[in-house]
Structure 1
Amino acid sequence: MSTNRDASGDGDGPRGGGLTTGEVARRLGVAPTTVRSWDRRYGLGPDIHTGGRHRRWTAADVARLERMCALTATGLPPAEAARLARDETGTDVSPPQADTARTAWPTARRGSGLGLGDVRLECRGVARAALRLDAAALDQLLKAAIEEHGLVAAWTEVIMPTLQAVGRKWENSGERYVEVEHFLSWHVSSALRRHAPPVAADRPGAGTVLACTPAENHTLPLEVLAAALAERGLQVRMFGGALPDESLVAAVRRTGPAAVGLWAQSRTTASRPLAQHVSMIEWGVRGARRKPVVLTLGPGWAGQTVPGLPHPAGLAQAVTAVESAVRG
């Protein structure tokens, strides 16, 4: 969302000729006050000033700040990180109030970012906020991504790539960064709940039941689907992780849903017999009995999908399949 003034309210002018401080802060996943502090204390400010407090950040300016973020995320003290960021980007800037302390952190600690690759710029900001365990910045960035791109695109192009990168990071670093993954997942879940509208009124035969298969506890993808369906005015009952099979059957019999989504993250938790059994449950008055459309959701069903049951490839396809079952 664009405005005529920087969202940070620090007096930056309109867009053009470089990024404003607020835009840079959102890209980096830090508060605008942090960017200004790095400018004031460590000489990492922009090369272009438009008068007064107006600032314009060029690509080279942002590159210095990105390096600063990467270095501080490893635990390097800010003063040392600023010195390295200036040296590595070939910038000869004498910080006006720089810390003179020097540490002996090994340069081998550099480059411990998440290796996001070719992704939206918002991913890098979200990743940096998660690595710093910065709750306020992370909430702000997630909210902005959902509002700007819409829930489905924000999940597919911003949130999911970042979660996957965090997962790869701890898998390849001897179980480090587990706290980052938990932290990010919790804040994503919170953002989804804040964004989703109130649950739609219950209409017999028009609801959707969402649950993980027994022994499956990865609920976040189902939470995204629940929020996306609620966005479209569809009634959803969310049962979360590791729902016992007899409880799932009881819930379907009691509520008579038009669709049932079963999530399995791994092949060991996917259950073809359970999916087949749920798809045969009938409900409704005699003479007009109906059965739910059962969607097998998640990578755990790959290679063992159930004939006749839809297996959407992603969030957008799952939303379409549920809408078709409910409205069809």
Structure 2
Amino acid sequence: MARAALRLDAAALDRLLLDAIREHGLVGAWTEVIVPTLQAVGRKWESSGERYVEVEHFLSWHVSGALRRAAPDTVPDRPGATTVLACVPGENHTLALEVLSAALTERGIPVRMFGGALPVESLIAAVRRTGPAAVALWAQSRTTASRPLAQHVAAMEWGVRGARRSPLVLTLGPGWSGRPVPGTARPYGLADTVQALEGLASR
């Protein structure tokens, strides 16, 4: 897969990605094949004086396309079962959320994916409008991980008096490493995240 990316061979890369997803499933393919390939290409870029930026972008684009092709149709909303996925403001790395979206959809969990660099006001509006069971916030770097934002979302409430609900907020990505954010969950890796959200949706 890395060799196909280095050759900029779109047809071969698409075939290899879809074969990996079919053989290992979305979670297994991401963990065992795609992430190691992305890391290998990243190391090549770092060790070559930043000569392979186009390869990294090419690979990421094709991974995103393969995830969309492999994912089933959108799951209809179920009250209190939806998961909101968003990158924090200033964060544009969406691939990890794209695979999470596909894996949750595959398991029949309704998802609303908002992608990269969602502004604070838009995130708050999306949470209020969907009343989700969970909100997953991705931060690739510590400079974008906003602890006050995560805590604010975790403290949001809706519903009638006596039956108010709040979302479970998951802080995902390396940007949240270090001190845990009070009132939020930090699952380890894709499989743990999917398991936590699957359990929440089934309650």
Query: What interval of TM-score do these two structures reach, taking the shorter chain for normalisation?
Result: over 0.9
Task: State the match for 1:267 in structure 2.
Answer: 142
Following the alignment from structure 1 to structure 2, what is the Cα–Cα distance between the partners of residues 286 and 308?
Answer: 21
* CA offset digits 1:124-151 (Å, max 9, x no partner): xx01110100000100000000000111
Task: State the match for 1:170 in structure 2.
Answer: 45
**SS of the residue aligned with 2:137?**
strand
Q: 2:131 aligns with which of 241, 256, 268?
A: 256
Q: 1:185 aligns with which of 49, 55, 60?
A: 60
Deviation at 1:324, TM superposition (A): 2.1
Instruction: In structure 1, give the amino acid aligned to 2:10.
Output: A
Task: State the match for 2:181 in structure 1.
Answer: 306
**SS of the residue aligned with 2:135?**
strand
* Long gaps (5+) in structure 2: none
Alignment TM-score, normalising by the size of structure 1: 0.61
Confirm or deny: 8 A CA contact 2:151 2:183 kept in the other structure.
Answer: no
Following the alignment from structure 1 to structure 2, what is the Cα–Cα distance between the partners of residues 295 and 185?
Answer: 24
Q: Percent identity?
A: 77
Following the alignment from structure 1 to structure 2, what is the Cα–Cα distance between the partners of residues 274 and 304?
Answer: 15
**SS of the residue aligned with 2:150?**
helix
Deviation at 1:307, TM superposition (A): 2.3
**SS of the residue aligned with 1:309?**
coil
Once the two structures are superposed, the pairs formed by residues 1-328 of structure 1 within 5 Å of their partners are: 126-328=1-203
Q: How many aligned residue pairs are there?
A: 203
Confirm or deny: 8 A CA contact 1:259 1:292 kept in the other structure.
Answer: yes
Deviation at 1:322, TM superposition (A): 1.1
**SS of the residue aligned with 1:307?**
coil
Deviation at 1:233, TM superposition (A): 0.5
Instruction: In structure 1, give the amino acid aligned to 2:41.
Output: V
Structure 1 outlier segments of 4+, above 3 Å? none
Instruction: In structure 2, give the amino acid aligned to 1:137.
Output: A
Following the alignment from structure 2 to structure 1, what is the Cα–Cα distance between the partners of residues 161 and 191?
Answer: 35
Between 1 and 2, higher relative CO (CA 8 Å, sep ≥ 6) is seen in 2
From the CA coordinates, give the structure whose radius of gyration is larger: 1
Instruction: In structure 1, give the amino acid aligned to 2:75.
Output: A
Alignment TM-score, normalising by the size of structure 2: 0.98
Following the alignment from structure 2 to structure 1, what is the Cα–Cα distance between the partners of residues 78 and 116?
Answer: 25
* Long gaps (5+) in structure 1: 1-125
Confirm or deny: 8 A CA contact 2:87 2:93 kept in the other structure.
Answer: yes
